[in-house]
Every structure is written in structure tokens, then in C-alpha cells.
Amino acid sequence: MKKILLGVLIAAGVIAILGAGPAQNQNNVPHFEVDPRFPQLPAGKVLGDMSSVAVDSHDHVWMIHRPRTVPEAQRTNAAPPVLEFDETGKFLAGWGGPGAGFEWPEREHGIYVDASGDVWISGNNGYAAAGTPAPPGKSDDMLLKFTSDGKFLMQIGHAGKSTGDADKDNVKQTADMMVFKNELFVADGYGNHRVVVFDTKNGAFKRTWGANGGPPFNIAHAIKVSNDGLVYLADRGNQRVQVFTTSGAFKQEVKIGAGTNQMQTAAGLAFSPDRAQRHLYVADIGNNQINILDRQSLKILDKFGKAGTAPGEFGTIHELAADSKGNIYTAELRTHRVQKFTQK
């Protein structure tokens, strides 16, 4: 009888393992493998600095790059700034650039696709690192909303009009944004030092907040809201991720890249796709790594990656996204690419 029972338990365990989805190691930490075939660009098209990446509800992968950073000799072959691919890397569509009725960013930065399929875009022209001159052109003090095929829907703010962190009408060189329950949460971090929230329907200002004591945000660079209503903010220049309620109450924080000599680290955020969103992924721009955290405790469980140009290496990892199958995507400035990492 004991032998029969043991056999049943072993069989049940095997079935559970086979049905558990993507493999994880003994500590239940997911691990990843690069897909060198992703994506397939249209023939002859060239990419500039790859600023950000997003995944929509169909697992289509959206990218925004900076055509004006393509070398002048190749600029006529620059791909459109907004690119859409399916999950296999097949090119689907491209659009974007200046048009009637809106102010396109001078320097493309963030992209996000909401549950309705609408595409939000930000820019960060006007930002200059310490000791460097400001770039020409107006400051990108606006956010844009388009349909998935590029039809203009709404603009929040206007180029060159921000009056700073207290401004309710304009942003200032925004890095990232995300929609949660009809509110647009914005990492308004290159020119300002805040999270700001707008109504998604009419663009009306709702509320704003800064860091919890200590140093103010220093390039609030990525923002994500979890299923349980917590706001995660990647504070790049302060090498940390801070967590807030949706009303701005501080909960906790974690240092990213602690013990390294990098001045800027936490740049991109993504959640694992399980309902509890057990894992938080953090892109470390300074160390060119992805950190895997327990989302609840913020304990760093593992990290992977190194600087380089080969598949699986990172050339200034700038943003991060995840799909419904647990795969993650990296936007890299220096290597002008998005990479796909499949969960194994």
C-alpha cells in the first residue's frame, strides 16, 4: 500500500511540474534565454537610439526610437519612430513624427499602450546631463495619445511651457507613463522631480507627489502600477526603486546597484505575468543588468546580463517590458535595438 501511495504522489508531482508553466530554478526564480531572431526589421530600415519598449494586450511589442540619431548618411532610411511587431518579431506597422494638430517630441523617449490599445508617447528634449549644453529646440513638455494606427487623440501640455514641479497643465521632459483605472501615472523625471497623475479621458490634472523625504527624485525614469494598486517608481539617479500607494503614500524602497560605482542604475521596470505579479524586474542602466526581485519584500533574488553587443548582452539598457507569457524585452540606447528574452 505504501509503495502504491508513493507512486501516486510521485506521479502527481511530475504532473504538477509539467503543468507549472515556464521553468524556474530551485529558488523559484525565473531564468531567461535570449532570442537572437527577434525582431525582423523591414528591409533597408535603420534604427537610431532605442529609447523604450512596451507590450500591448495582444502581446504585440511596441518600440520607440530616435530617427534623428541615425547617422546623417543613412537618415533617409531611418525607420518611423513608432514600430509595432508581433510576438515572433514580425514587423506589423510603423508611424509617427510631426503632424497637424499636435507637437511631436524633439527627442522621443517613452511609449506605453493602454488596455484600449491607445498609444501614449513622451519626449525628453531639453534635458542635458551636468556639465553639458542644453540641446537645441523646445523642451518636450507634453504627452501625446494616439490610436494604435497613429491617429492623434489628445495632447497634455505644450512644448516649452512647463513652469516646474507645481505645474498642473504641463509636464517637463517626461520619461515614462502607465494607465491604471482610468488614470495616467507619469514619471515626470528629466525636467521635473515628481510623479504626476492625469485623467485619461480629458487630460485633467489629478494629483502629484515627490520622493519620501531624503533626496528628491533624480530622473524618475520608469513607472508601473501593480494589480494590487501599488506604484513602483525607478529613481535612476538615486539608484533606487520606491513604492507608493496610488494616492502617493510612501511604502518602501530598495537600492539597485548597491556596492557598485555606478551613479545611475534603476531605469526600467516590469512585472511577472502571474496574477500576484510575484516578481519585479528592474533594468540597471549603469551595470547593464536585469535584477529579479521578490515584488512584495523587494529582496533581490538574482540578476543577469553584462555590457556588450553580442546577443544577450546589453548596450545601455534603458527600458524594459514583459508579455503575458513571461518573456521580457529590453530597449538599448547604444546598440540601437530591442532584445527578447524568453522565460525558460
Measured in whole angstroms, the distance separating CA 125 from the mean position of its chain's CA atoms is: 18
The yes-or-no verdict on residue 250 having pLDDT over 60 is yes
Task: Give CA–CA dist 188/257, Å, rounded.
Answer: 22
Which grid coordinates belong to 316?
A: 545601455
Angle ∠(226,249,245) on CA atoms, nearest 5: 15
Span between the terminal Cα atoms of the chain, in Å: 37
Measured in whole angstroms, the distance separating CA 112 from the mean position of its chain's CA atoms is: 8
Query: Considering the chain, what percentage of its residues have pLDDT values greater than 70?
Result: 92
Question: 287 or 17, which is more confident?
Answer: 287
- Residue that has been written with the C-alpha cell 513624427 in this structure: 97
pLDDT tens for 80-121 read: 999 999 999 999 999 999 999 999 999 999 999 999 999 999
The yes-or-no verdict on residue 129 having pLDDT over 90 is no
Q: What is the average pLDDT value for the chain, to the nearest integer?
A: 93
The yes-or-no verdict on residue 2 having pLDDT over 50 is no
**Residues composing the chain:** 344
Domains, the chain: 34-343 (2.120.10.30)
pTM of the model: 0.91
pLDDT tens for 281-299 read: 999 999 999 999 999 999 9
Mean pLDDT of 128-139: 87
Task: Give CA–CA dist 66/219, Å, rounded.
Answer: 19
Which grid coordinates belong to 59?
A: 502581446
At 134 the pLDDT is 82
Neighbour count for residue 229 (Cβ, 10 Å): 11
Question: 75 or 16, which is more confident?
Answer: 75
At 24 the pLDDT is 52
Given a contact cutoff of 8 angstroms between Cβ atoms, the answer to whether 235 and 242 are in contact is yes
Mean pLDDT of 13-19: 37
At 25 the pLDDT is 53
Query: What are the E-state strand segments in 67-212?
Result: 82-85, 91-95, 108-113, 119-123, 142-146, 152-157, 176-180, 183-188, 194-199, 205-209
Task: Give CA–CA dist 180/245, Å, rounded.
Answer: 12
The helices-and-strands tally (H runs, E runs) of the chain is 1, 24
What is the band of 267 on the pLDDT scale with cuts at 50, 70, 90? very high
